[in-house]
């Protein structure tokens, strides 16, 4: 079942083509990522899907509903986390959650949400007393208060501390296991690779690639890098002659970088060589192709320029 259906979506602001004829579907129970630089059209797309803006052209269905004609029904079934949200500073956390719960026909127990996100001790704290990361976690659980079928998260972890970022990542993984559908916009490579079942890479209002993170990385044909150090110098000819190794760079002081299309068999060859020749591998580090590599190959520049 397609939870989101988009066909030839277009939205222009004067001469700017914010969204320029994109098409895609989001399946039930998946985490679908929209990855791209700031200004690529991510937020405009998500706001059209949520019903906040009307498209200029194209067809949009969300949970089988028209985001404009069926907006009120849609709001009962989705959760929305905007890039920036202002909270009532003089309300306590528990009061704020109960207030938002009153807006919906079906609401989740606020205490359950606080426990899930690790803020149960802050139920009686005023919003103004929370740290930035804690406020962002409150904003996040406000999107869950109506037990939504579909969650829209627009740059949910931008500027967050590691603890808050992990808390949100943990829920996204948990939500997927419970059959929830998540539409996630981000410009963080690690976030898209770690969380998303499929990723659409968007640039200048157009989708330039769409697939699983693994398939997108494979399509880039970027070699894996294996770095290590040893005591003394090795015969680089032996390294070059190993199966699966395409090239070798010697940096001096016993430091080497190997390049390989496939990391796992190359590592096995390297370990076997070290055992046969009695040298120790230290500081072993493997770096594979990333979605950043895909974006660079397609556009010639980095996502976070």
pLDDT, tens only, 276-292: 888 889 999 888 778 88
Residue at token pair 């306590």: 92
Q: Does domain 223-288 have CATH number 3.30.420.40?
A: no
- 23 and 7 in contact (C-beta within 8 Å)? yes
**Is the pLDDT score of 182 beyond 90?**
yes
CA 207 from centroid of its chain's CA atoms: 16
Tokens describing residue 202: 């968007």
Which residue in 186, 184, 161 sits closest to 38, CA to CA? 186
**Is the pLDDT score of 233 beyond 70?**
no
State whether residue 75 is helix, strand or coil.
helix
Per-state percent for the chain, helix, strand, coil, to nearest 5:
35, 30, 35
Give span(s): CATH 3.40.50.300, the chain: 2-212
* DSSP H helical ranges for the chain: 42-50, 71-77, 93-101, 110-117, 132-142, 162-177, 189-195, 213-219, 236-240, 263-277, 291-299
What is the predicted pLDDT for the residue at 234? 77
- 7 and 58 in contact (C-beta within 8 Å)? yes
In this structure, of 101-110, 133-142, 143-152, 288-297, the range with the lowest mean pLDDT score is 288-297
What is the predicted pLDDT for the residue at 127? 96
What is the predicted pLDDT for the residue at 1? 79
* pLDDT category of residue 224 using cuts at 50, 70 and 90: confident
CATH tag for 2-212 (out of 2.120.10.70, 3.40.50.2300, 3.30.390.10, 3.40.50.300): 3.40.50.300
What is the predicted pLDDT for the residue at 96? 97
The pTM for the full model equals 0.82
- 265 and 276 in contact (C-beta within 8 Å)? no
What is the predicted pLDDT for the residue at 52? 94
Give span(s): CATH 3.30.70.100, the chain: 223-288
- Select the more confidently predicted residue: 198 or 222: 198
What is the predicted pLDDT for the residue at 232? 66
- 304 and 37 in contact (C-beta within 8 Å)? yes
**Is the pLDDT score of 164 beyond 90?**
no
pLDDT in tens, 114-144: 998 889 999 999 999 999 889 999 999 999 9
**Is the pLDDT score of 243 beyond 90?**
no
**Is the pLDDT score of 305 beyond 70?**
no
Rounded Cα distance between 145 and 99, Å, is 10
What is the predicted pLDDT for the residue at 26? 98
């Amino acid at each position: 079942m397609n939870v989101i259906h988009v066909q030839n979506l277009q939205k222009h602001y004067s001469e700017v083509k914010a969204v320029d004829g994109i098409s895609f579907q989001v399946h039930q129970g998946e985490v679908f990522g929209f990855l791209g630089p700031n200004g690529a059209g991510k937020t405009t797309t998500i706001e059209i899907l949520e019903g906040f803006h009307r498209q200029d052209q194209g067809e949009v269905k969300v949970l089988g509903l028209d985001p404009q004609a069926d907006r009120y029904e849609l709001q009962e079934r989705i959760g929305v986390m905007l890039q920036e949200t202002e909270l009532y500073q003089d309300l306590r956390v528990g009061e704020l959650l109960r207030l938002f719960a009153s807006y919906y026909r079906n609401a989740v127990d606020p205490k359950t949400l606080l426990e899930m996100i690790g803020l149960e001790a802050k139920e009686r704290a005023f919003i103004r007393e929370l740290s930035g990361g804690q406020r962002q976690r409150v904003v996040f659980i406000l999107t869950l208060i109506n037990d939504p079928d579909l969650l829209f998260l627009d740059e949910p972890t931008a500027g967050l501390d590691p603890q808050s970022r992990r808390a949100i990542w943990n829920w996204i993984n948990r939500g997927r296991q419970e059959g929830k559908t998540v539409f996630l916009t981000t410009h963080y490579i690690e976030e898209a690779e770690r969380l998303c079942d499929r990723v659409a890479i968007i640039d200048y209002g157009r989708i330039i690639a769409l697939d699983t993170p693994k398939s997108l990385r494979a399509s880039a044909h970027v070699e894996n890098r294996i770095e290590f150090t040893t005591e003394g110098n090795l015969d680089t000819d032996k390294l070059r002659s190993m199966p699966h190794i395409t090239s070798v760079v010697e940096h001096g002081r016993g430091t080497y970088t190997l390049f390989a299309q496939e990391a796992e068999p190359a590592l096995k060859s390297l370990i076997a060589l070290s055992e046969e020749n009695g040298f120790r591998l230290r500081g072993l580090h493997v770096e594979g192709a990333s979605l950043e590599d895909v974006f660079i190959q397609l556009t010639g520049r980095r996502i976070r320029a």
